[in-house]
Every structure is written in structure tokens, then in C-alpha cells.
Amino acid sequence: MRVFSRRRFLFASIPWAVLMTTAGRVFAQSSPSPRLGPAQPFGIEAIRQRAEQLAARPYVPPTPPAPELAARIDFDAVQKIRFRADRALRPDSHFPVRLFHLDKFNGLPVRINLVSDGTSREVLYSPDDFSVKDDALPEGWPRDAGYSGFRVMDGPDKETDWLAFQGASYFRTSGEEGQYGLSVRGIAINTGLPMPEEFPRFTEFWLLEPQRGEPVITIVALLDGPSVTGIYRFDATKGTGAVVTVAAELFMRAPVERMGIAPLTSMYWYGENDRRRATDWRPEIHDSDGLALWTGAGERIWRPLINPPGLLVNSFSDTNPRGFGLLQRDRRFPNYEDDGAFYHRRPSVWVEPLEPWGDGAVQLVEIPTDDEIHDNVVAYWNPARPMRGGDRLKLSYRLHWRSEEPYPPSAVGRVVATRIGHGGVPGNLTPEDANKRKFVIDFEGGPLTGMAPRYDLAPVVTLSRGTIHNEYVVKVVGTEMWRAVFDVSIDGRQPLDLRCFLRLDDKPLTETWLYQYIPT
């Protein structure tokens, strides 16, 4: 499993058939307009057939155009190479588009096309499209090198962007607080297995103009990789956060041991539940603090993220999940104290299936890290049906990039904090307390809101091993939070799986808290 440097990638249900057949109009051109190639016939079915034909042929790895020169365009140089605003695609629209240059971290070009009246024309690369400072572009850079991706701007006169595609099949948006964080991939192949992970690429894009007056940008992409090809359609809109509706058809070149659908990629170094990793002065550092699940049976689950000592993969089996997401629930600045990275503003991403996904599991992959520059968390849907060469798969789902989850639980309270410390009673510790750990879980919302303090609420706690001691529930004075507290006696170094929710008169009051504690 590979840990990614974050610098590598970027500084109502709609039927699949409808999503994949609606076409758009051409982008208006700026002055001076970008150079365009000759007109070619455009059609969704032609791209689908192309993906299918690619899957029937051996994979041909791409060749970077100038790897030695691209290696000199490092992080600092990237900041000095900017796409010119007057070369933007469709500059007067809701969503002008600017293009990314190739660099050390993104050395493979992608084709970018504009579509109009059944034809498409490639946007041809020119170094003149970029303003370059301090000779950041190496001498001898090829004039036909190509672009590494594109970003969609906040408006005609804005210098900020809200949606970007760059690197393999990665894309992301800035959510509703204008702050980039976690990323999404088109597909994940063999993630978290003792074999090389595959990274299929979006090799070509077609940009379609939205219908008149609708602030929607539509993007069609061709996917190619060693084991899979495919065609994707993205309909993206910006409002309260961003919503990206995805329709895809995949064609398998070869069998795949583990397929990851709608893969989310994030960073978690440490939080209030994992202070053993806190070597930095800031109280917490993470893009996401937990995995939220809404199962097909209707159960709400919250699994706080951890930074494990070794690769960790957990599967949450389900049938027709209603949704899942990597969320940043902790949104208070004092809990991070970072006025540069603004972790309290990082978006959450919720995956909403638009059709039944059948049997499978949401899988969570956590990789150890000792720095915030690495993406070390992945979550995705893994179908139970194995994928073999020659198989095909159609998908449709919606991605919600919000500060809060789009369908929050109302019938139950949710977890807002997890803390862990030494077991026992302070000031009255015994030798037996040496092997105890104390778990403290705060819940709020749902039926807990407005509830007067009472002492008949019970924490329902189950363990994979160990013994529970001194469990109780109290309302935190001066707040609407209710706190579950319990100690666990732990022997050995094997991971401990825990489960907890609050109950009153045999009725659950909260979502289910799941945790995996690894003794040290």
C-alpha cells in the first residue's frame, strides 16, 4: 500500500442512461483564445466503445514527454507557473476553466477537449498559456508537452477554484468553506493488499457546457489502467458545498482481487482520541476524523479514525448501503489552532448510491504516518462479487462535499468526541488499574437534545476481548452533551474492537460508536 504525498495532486436519483446521454454546448472562447485541434465527431457511445475496445487489448503504459525536465519543476516551481486568466476556457460563464502544467509530481499529460454541436476539439498545449516567473520552466521544455489536468474557477472574475482534476483518477472540491482537503478517485484497485496497488488514469476529458442558465459543469472522462478501462460522466454544481453526480461504466481487462468503488482518500495524523502520536505543537492534525456509515438496515455507525502502528484494513459488511463518508465533525478552530492549513474548514464527503449496490462491504484502510503531507486513509465500497477479466460494471452515485453530512441522523444522537486515558479512579489507583484503559465518548443531538439530567441511561458496551468496569452515563454540565465512560482491562498487544451506544428503556438513543484500540 502506497502513502501519498499531498503535494502530488493539487495545490433526486438520475438513471445511468440519462446521465450518460445528455450532451452540452461549446465553451465560449477567450481572447486570445486557446489553440484548438481539428474538429472530431463526438458521442458518448463512441467513447464507451473505445473504452470497451481498450479493455480487449493489452495495457500500454503511458510515456512522460520530458521526465528529466519535469523533475526540475518541483513544488516551489509549480507556484511560479500559472495559467493565464485571459486564456481561460469559457471565461464569462459560471465556471471558467484553467489548466494545470506538467510538473515533478504530475508528469503525464491528459487530453482536454471542448465539445460543440456533436464535435470535439482538443485544447492544444502552448507554453504561452502560462505566466512563468524566475525561469521556473526549464530550458528546452517541449512546446507540445500537454496539460496535467484542469481546475474550475469560482466565477468569471475569481482567482480561486472549487473543483479540480489532476493526477491518476483523483479529483476534489473545496466544499462550502473554500478549503481543499480530502480527495476522491474514480476507482481503487487492490488497495491495502500485499501486492502493488494499481492507479488507473483519466487519460482524456471532454468538457461540456451546461444548459443555459444552469450552474452545472459536465465532464466526460476516459479511464485506462492495467486491469480496467471505463467511461465516466461527472455533473458538478456548487451551492451549499458542492455536489458531483457520477455515472460510470467499467470494463475489466483482468481479474481484480479488490475493487474499490467511490474511493475517498484523506489524511489523519492524530486527534483527541490518539494523542500518543501528537509530536507536533498543534492539538489535532487531520482532514477527516471519522468514517460514518448508514447501513441498508438503517443503522447509523461512527468509526473514529486512528493512526495505527502498521497497515490496518477493516471491513463493514452490508447490503445496499444508504451511504458512507469520511467526515470532519470537529469544526472548532481552538481544537486545531492552525491558521494556515485551516483543518477546521476541511470538507466532509458523503457517498450516496443512486441505485442498489447489492452485497459487499465498506472498507477502511488506515496507514501509519508521522507527517501531515501524506494521505494515509482510504474508504470505499467493495462489492462481494469478484471482478474477472471481461466483466463490466455500471455505477451511479452522488458525492456531497459539505461541512456536515447531508443526511444527518435525527432519530438518534451522534458521536462528537472520543477520548482515551488511564483507567481507574484518579487519586485512588490500584495495581490492577495498570492494565486498564478509560474510554470517554460524547454524544449529542437527536432525542438527547433538551433531555434533563437523569441516571437511568445505560451505555451498551461490547468488546472483542477484555473486561468492562465502572460503566456509566452523565450529562456534561452546561452543555447538551451526554458522556459514556467505561474502563477496559486489556492483556496482550492484539487489537481490541469496541462497540458502544446509549440506550433508554431498550430503545437506542444514539448512533453506534465503533473503535479499534491497539495497545502499546
- For residue range 157-169, what is the model confidence (pLDDT) as tens digits? 899 999 999 999 9
Q: What is the pLDDT at residue 433?
A: 84
Give the β-pairing of 507-508 and 216-224.
unpaired
Work out the mean pLDDT of the chain and round it to a whole number: 91
Q: What is the pLDDT at residue 491?
A: 86
Domain boundaries, the chain: 4-11+13-402, 414-517
Q: What is the pLDDT at residue 29?
A: 40
Per-residue confidence band for 213, with pLDDT thresholds at 50, 70 and 90? low
How do residues 80-127 score in pLDDT, each as one tens digit?
A: 999 999 999 988 888 999 999 999 999 999 999 999 888 999 999 999
Cell of 76: 516551489
Per-residue confidence band for 478, with pLDDT thresholds at 50, 70 and 90? very high
Residue type, 361: A
Residue 296, sorted as left (phi over 0), alpha (psi -120 to 50) or beta, turns out to be: alpha
- 4-11+13-402: CATH topology: Beta-galactosidase; Chain A, domain 5 (2.70.98)
Question: Between 16 and 391, whose confidence is greater?
Answer: 391
Collapsed DSSP state (helix, strand, coil) of residue 138: coil
Range 176-186 average pLDDT: 96
| pLDDT surpassing 70 at residue 431 | yes
| pLDDT surpassing 80 at residue 209 | no
| pLDDT surpassing 60 at residue 30 | no
How do residues 458-472 score in pLDDT, each as one tens digit?
A: 899 999 999 999 999
| pLDDT surpassing 60 at residue 10 | no
Q: CA 36, 100, 187 angle in degrees (round to 5)?
A: 100
Q: Are 126 and 101 in contact (CB under 8 A)?
A: no
Q: What is the pLDDT at residue 232?
A: 98
Strand locations in 102-225 (E): 111-116, 119-122, 130-132, 147-153, 161-166, 170-173, 183-185, 187-189, 201-208, 216-224
Rounded Cα gap, residues 225 and 203, in angstroms = 9
Range of lowest pLDDT (92-106, 189-203, 425-439)? 425-439
Q: What percent of the chain lies above the pLDDT cut of 70? A: 93
* DSSP conformation class of 156: T
Residue type, 72: R
Range of lowest pLDDT (32-46, 55-69, 94-108, 454-468)? 32-46
How do residues 357-392 score in pLDDT, each as one tens digit?
A: 999 999 999 999 999 999 999 999 999 999 999 999
- Residue 440, Cβ density class (10 Å: 0-12 exposed, 13-18 middle, ≥19 buried): middle
Q: What is the pLDDT at residue 32?
A: 60
Per-residue confidence band for 436, with pLDDT thresholds at 50, 70 and 90? very high
Per-residue confidence band for 411, with pLDDT thresholds at 50, 70 and 90? very high
Rounded Cα gap, residues 367 and 16, in angstroms = 34
Range of lowest pLDDT (59-73, 204-218, 317-331, 406-420)? 204-218
Q: Are 187 and 179 in contact (CB under 8 A)?
A: no
Per-residue confidence band for 520, with pLDDT thresholds at 50, 70 and 90? confident
Per-residue confidence band for 23, with pLDDT thresholds at 50, 70 and 90? very low
DSSP state letters, 183-200: EEESEEESTTSSSPPB--
| pLDDT surpassing 70 at residue 28 | no
| pLDDT surpassing 90 at residue 16 | no
Q: What is the pLDDT at residue 90?
A: 85
| pLDDT surpassing 60 at residue 215 | yes
| pLDDT surpassing 70 at residue 25 | no
Per-residue confidence band for 235, with pLDDT thresholds at 50, 70 and 90? very high
Q: What is the pLDDT at residue 263?
A: 98
CATH architecture of 414-517: Sandwich (2.60)
| pLDDT surpassing 80 at residue 427 | yes
How do residues 270-279 score in pLDDT, each as one tens digit?
A: 999 988 888 8
Rounded Cα gap, residues 441 and 447, in angstroms = 17
Collapsed DSSP state (helix, strand, coil) of residue 7: helix
Same fold, 4-11+13-402 and 414-517: no
Give the β-pairing of 268-270 and 285-286.
antiparallel
